[in-house]
Amino acid sequence: MKKLQKLKLTKMTFQMNHGVYEFEQNKNTTFEVNLSIFSNFSVSMQTDQLQDTIDYQVIYDLVSKEMHIRAHLIEHIAHRIIQSIANDFKEIKKLKLKISKMNPPIQGDIKKTEFEVKWKRKN
């Protein structure tokens, strides 16, 4: 396998009403998404052409689409995002995704909850 490089999309923020409880579903909360994409970018490093790389606007749009579908759990949203990206970009070999729910409405002083998942394409 050729050496992989990493493209990162960090601190993508969304105001959404994901959650299990009714009070979560009735109030927007800030969610932050961080994504690392591992692929072979050697061609685009040489050519400087968009068609030779992974268009991160398209990636952002896929993340945004999945974030805008209501869900109870951030784990489920993460699964949908991974599947969507993996299906549309066969050249991606690995992904690392972290979704953070900022100031979750629970009893106690907590800044955020996070779910992180790593995915690797099976050859």
Domain range summary for the chain, segments of one domain joined by +:
5-120
Q: Please give the pLDDT value at position 64.
A: 98
Mean of pLDDT values over 26-40: 94
Proportion of the chain above pLDDT 70, given as a percent: 98
In this prediction the pTM is 0.92
Strands 112-120 and 94-102, sheet pairing: antiparallel
All residues at 6 or more sequence positions from 71 whose CB lies less than 8 Å from its CB, including other chains: 18, 77, 80
Q: Which residues contact 117 (CB under 8 A, 6 or more apart)?
A: 75, 78, 79, 82, 96, 97, 98
Question: Rounded to an integer, what distance in angstroms lies between the CA atom of residue 73 and that of residue 76?
Answer: 5
CATH tag, 5-120: 3.30.1130.10
Per-residue pLDDT band for 118 (boundaries 50, 70, 90) equals very high
Q: What percent of the chain has pLDDT over 90?
A: 80
What would the pLDDT profile of 38-91 be if each residue is shown by its tens digit?
Answer: 999 999 999 999 999 999 999 999 999 999 999 999 999 999 999 999 999 999
Provide mean pLDDT across the span 23-38: 90
| pLDDT at 86 (0 to 100) | 97
